Chains A and B, each alone.
Chain A
Amino acid sequence: QKEVEQNSGPLSVPEGAIASLNCTYSDRGSQSFFWYRQYSGKSPELIMSIYSNGDKEDGRFTAQLNKASQYVSLLIRDSQPSDSATYLCAVNLDFGNEKLTFGTGTRLTIIP
């Protein structure tokens, strides 16, 4: 059973602090990893993609991947109230498999 697991939250973080979101996946063959942000009532919006072990930074966002531990995380620095949303972790098995498996999402609230 291929699964992607996230802590559903809610996760509350003070404005300006670092928000840390975590995701584990069950299929060791997974190759591509994505973080999406979903505001209430809206569709998901791509935040980051990561394919190799290590860190990938884009502005205030850093994705971290550890394939040995089957773990991917998203760090949000200098959290803003506009970052309050549900963050979805998505994984696909390999480059030949186009399907994404989504976690249930972590609801993040940034407290002003």
Chain B
Amino acid sequence: GAVVSQHPSRVICKSGTSVKIECRSLDFQATTMFWYRQFPKQSLMLMATSNEGSKATYEQGVEKDKFLINHASLTLSTLTVTSAHPEDSSFYICSAKRGAETQYFGPGTRLLVL
């Protein structure tokens, strides 16, 4: 199966700081990457769809100025949580899509904002 990595796996930061999360497809070129957020005991909620070389498409209710997405290459997408607050604490998961195939998920990044 396809391998997707995320870094860091866990991050703790102070309120008001920014955090960058990287998502990499290790053994394939991803035409599209997705960013999800999952709160405890809830399902995955799609935040945005990221296509290489173009602007991300954000889901309704997701602030694009707060969650900055950059998809600089076919193997790397980054999510930056700007001016993070405690309510942004969550499990952030990326997925990558290879052509018409299904999505392969990264291991997730657990963010805790103090």
Residues on A close to B: CB < 8 A?
32, 34, 36, 41-46, 49, 88, 95, 98-105
A-B pairs, 3 with minimum CB distance: A43-B108, A43-B105, A104-B43
Given known A102-B44, A103-B43, A104-B43, contact A46–B108 (CB-CB < 8 A): no
Decide: A98 near B93, CB < 8 A? Known: A42-B107, A46-B102, A88-B43.
no
Is A98's CB under 8 angstroms from B44's CB?
Answer: no
Interface of B is mostly: strand
Bound Cα distance A95, B102 (Å): 10
**Count of chain B residues with Cβ under 8 Å from any Cβ of A?**
20
Per DSSP, chain A at the interface is: loop
Distance in Å: Cβ of B30 to nearest Cβ of chain A: 11
Given contacts A98-B32, A98-B49, A98-B97, contact A46 B43 (CB under 8 A): no
Is there an interface contact between B46 and A100, defined as CB atoms closer than 8 Å? yes
